[in-house]
Amino acid sequence: MTETDQKPITGGEFIIRDTEPSEVFIPENWTEEHQMIAQMCDDFINTEIIPNIERIDQMEDGLMPSIMEKAGALGLLSMSVPEELGGMGVDFKTSLLATEHLGAGYSFSVAFGAHTGIGTLPLLYYGNEDQKKKYIPKLASGEWKAAYCLTEPGAGSDANSGKTKAVLSEDGKNYSVNGQKMWITNGGFANLFTVFAKIDDDEKLTAFLIEADSEGISLNPEEKKMGIKGSSTRQVFFNNVKVPVENMLSDRENGFKIALNILNIGRIKLAAGVMGASKQAITGSVNYANEREQFGRVISKYGAIRYKLAEQAIQTFAVESATYRAGQNIDDAIAGYIADGMDKGTATLKGIELFAPECAILKVAGSEGLDYTIDEAVQIFGGMGYSAESHVERGYRDARINRIFEGTNEINRLLTVDMVLRRAMKGELDLMGPAMKVANELMSIPDFGEKPTGTLANEVALLQGFKKTILMIAGSAVQKLMQSLSKEQEILMNIADISIWTYLAESTLLRVQQMIEMKGEENCSAQIAIVKTYFFDAADKINKAGKDALNSFTEGDELKMMMMGLKRFTKTEAFNPKEARQLIASKMIEANEYCF
């Protein structure tokens, strides 16, 4: 083992480094304590949310805040809060588990996510001791609810262009805040706002903690939305709002950094939450397919329906594998920073920031995976899926926001590539060395040396090809386009998509390899089918995205050479996807639920 192999993996390094199955956490290794937390969350959804879902969507006055208080009493709002501040102090992947199981709560999951994530965490990780002691116990218990005020009418994806201003009073005791914020989740009942504003003519934002009953704060009526109708979404206006200087959060002009780091957390938490919604949609699909009869048979017996059920499961299983892999990587990084003497709050932020590329990948993959799953759920339900009487109709409308939340999927794709390339430029990640090796390989006689063996040997080999594809295209694009690459969004999106499919493919492969070691091949037949089908499809998608990218910036002999390499890197062996999907679907049909 080399010195490099012994170091913990860092964000984006999956492109250039092999990972052993034993290095990743898989959901099959949840402990009994973890399962109790998951069950508590499931019970809460089934007793407090599902029976009241119509009342929640009608925004019955006081209902959502009262549900939040019940969640607080159970400790669901304080998972990430240290015990000394009234919380449970669980590790990061456990907080992801709770988020997943509460993700089946429709609008409640949005209120929960906003309160526990972007509402509480800026204060938890950037607040001073006095601020934390004053507010965190109230937020942890649910006595107070939190909201996050970043977006403005003219500042969405470009958050730092916000116009909200803060001016220090002559006596130096207060800031006067003026401005407008929009799309504020929990805005209608929040007690505490984290507000981003620019002091005087500063270039960067500063964050402030502003109590909602402060004089000068007013709210627009609730927004009328496509989905998540039970989630309070309001515009918030600040008119000469006095904010004590001690309520500045962190340092002056540190607000933009706070926003970026909290969004990293929000992205991976969103991936966990949509996973819960996706599993719920699959189970609903299986239940309905097992009950609905057409032409004298239940529709779960038909191949067209089985294809849909299997593909729902494949996409969800892949997102789950990658999410908990990244969650454990983050936990390991946090532990490493703490061992080096860093306090837990700072270590947590650093650990999550380290895996910011993976957080962006998971946000895209999770939200788009749910969109596929819930869309097919509506299709399986047929006319009933279009009826407001069915839960899948609500799920369909609620799902759409996730591709916009926490930075649009387009922004997250661009960020994925940008963050990895920036780390390479800083010397934190050696991309050019491996990229040059791939370039040299293209110009030499292919080495068809010793091939991997075993059930998933083809997938192990394909994974190397997927990674070489990223290195070939990204390396060539950097060399050829240089500074103009940042403007070539179509090419960057191609590279991002290839990276997303590669990360999910590897995560799924590692999970099932570990499962085979634990349980034996004969007990993992459906999971093996999931891996093989995912890789078989990913190879074609990567090939297409690769061709689109290469044809966009290369030509002549260079293009021909790289096209040959691309074909070699994504070449698949004969495989029967129908048989594999039949096996996957049959397992769920027999169990009458998502069972992976």
CA-wise closest residue to 380 among 307, 297, 275: 307
Cβ distance 434 to 295 under 8 Å? no
Q: Which two tokens stand for residue 250?
A: 């962190």
CA separation for the pair 357, 419 (Å, rounded): 6
Structure-token pair, residue 486: 């940042």
Nearest CA among 132, 153, 127, 135 for reference residue 212: 135
Cα distance between residue 132 and residue 209, in whole Å: 11
Residue 78 main-chain phi, psi, to 5 deg: -120, 20
Catalytic residue among 152, 358, 376, 406: 406
Catalytic residue flag (residue 406): yes
User: Residue 549 CA to chain centroid, in angstroms?
Assistant: 25
Residues 6+ apart with CB under 8 A from 89: 80, 81, 82, 83
Q: Length of the chain in residues, anyone?
A: 596
SS3 state at 18: coil
Parallel, antiparallel or unpaired: strands 165-168 and 297-298: unpaired
Structure tokens at 370: 């749910």
- What are the structure tokens assigned to 85, written together? 């501040």
Query: What Å distances lie between residue 431 and 5, 297, 358, 362, CA to CA?
Result: 16, 55, 16, 21
Q: How many CB atoms lie within 10 A of CB 448?
A: 7
Measured between alpha carbons, how far is 125 from 120 in angstroms, rounded to an integer? 9
**Where do runs of H (alpha helix) occur along 426-488?**
432-442, 457-481
Residues that are catalytic: 406
